[in-house]
Structure 1
Amino acid sequence: MKEILSANIKFNRELSLFDLFTFHQFAQSYAGSLFILSGDNLIHPKHFTQLVSFFLLNKRELTIVIEGHQVHQTLQHIQAWFRHLHNRLLSKSSLKYLSI
């Protein structure tokens, strides 16, 4: 069964191009769908140019939407990736869960 999960994430620092490229590679390999929202902007992180432009305009706060199977594990993987690579703590993560 497909599921949808979203998490609001705030960053302590800006992401580097290497960070964005690594996240882009993860999005490319994920079997489900990932979306990033901030304000009125929505992008699919599989498109690297959109990802870079998005983070140039919206640097600190976003919502990640995960659709597919094992969405909780995917979110944990994304959060662990941010923590491990950058020694950052994700603050104010709120989860919204919906089974479809």
Structure 2
Amino acid sequence: MHIYIAYTAVGIILLHPALIVLPRYLEGGIRPWDAFVTMITDLGNLGVVLGLIAWVLLLILSAEMKLRAALMRTESRCSHYRLDYPDLDDENWRAWINIYQGDDGAM
């Protein structure tokens, strides 16, 4: 159940600027790129700026988790090809890798 909540939250974070805020700026008759730049640089619209910062932080966190999981595997799988381990190893690695945060804050 928690995965559906997470996907919904990320979807809202990603779509909110594009579907709700940007059209408000476009009503003024300016070009879409100018509207986007105005939207993210207007400090009076702090919710959008904080939303974009949260979105970037989620992307960085996701990239770090994927990289750590890929480096942990001693095999090649799908698009994660490793020169040092070029073959599949279903016996040991046909599984999900769950990454958790430790007490020290490290993954």
TM class, shorter-length:
under 0.3
Structure with bigger gyration radius? 2
* Greater relative contact order (Cα < 8 A, sep 6+): 1
Structure with the larger strand share: 1
TM-score norm. by structure 1 comes to: 0.28
TM-score norm. by structure 2 comes to: 0.26
